């Protein structure tokens, strides 16, 4: 398999052989490839962030967060802290 630098060199040589009126087509194609690669990257970022959100949602501790303010554990908590026996 050819290395990245030799592929780039081969592309440059072939582009140099093209007539000027075809260069805009090459540029449009390269822009398309870059755009589609960027779109794939953005989609992967979204999937990664969704995966993180799912992991948080599946964490059993997320169900407990805030329970202290609503449960009997919090009943008279301030008095116990402020006025220990």
Determine, yes or no, domain membership for 10.
no
pLDDT of residue 41: 72
Determine, yes or no, domain membership for 62.
no
Determine, yes or no, domain membership for 15.
no
Side-chain-side CA neighbours of 26 within 13 Å: the count stands at 12
Determine, yes or no, domain membership for 43.
yes
Please state the domain count of the chain. 1
Q: pLDDT of the chain along its 85 residues, tens only?
A: 568 899 999 999 999 999 999 999 999 999 998 888 887 777 777 766 666 665 666 666 666 665 555 555 556 666 666 666 6
Determine, yes or no, domain membership for 5.
no
Q: In which domain, by residue range, is 25 found?
A: 20-55
Rounded alpha-carbon distances, angstroms, from residue 44 to 61, 64, 80, 82:
27, 31, 50, 51
| pTM for the predicted model, two decimal places | 0.44
pLDDT of residue 3: 86
Determine, yes or no, domain membership for 31.
yes
């Amino acid at each position: 398999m050819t290395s990245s630098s030799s592929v780039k060199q081969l592309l440059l040589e072939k582009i140099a052989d093209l007539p000027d009126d075809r260069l805009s087509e090459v540029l449009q194609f390269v822009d398309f490839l870059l755009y589609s690669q960027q779109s794939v990257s953005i989609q992967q970022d979204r999937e990664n962030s969704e995966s993180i959100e799912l992991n948080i949602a599946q964490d059993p501790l997320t169900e407990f967060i805030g329970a202290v303010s609503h449960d009997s554990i919090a009943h008279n908590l301030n008095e116990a802290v402020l006025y220990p026996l």
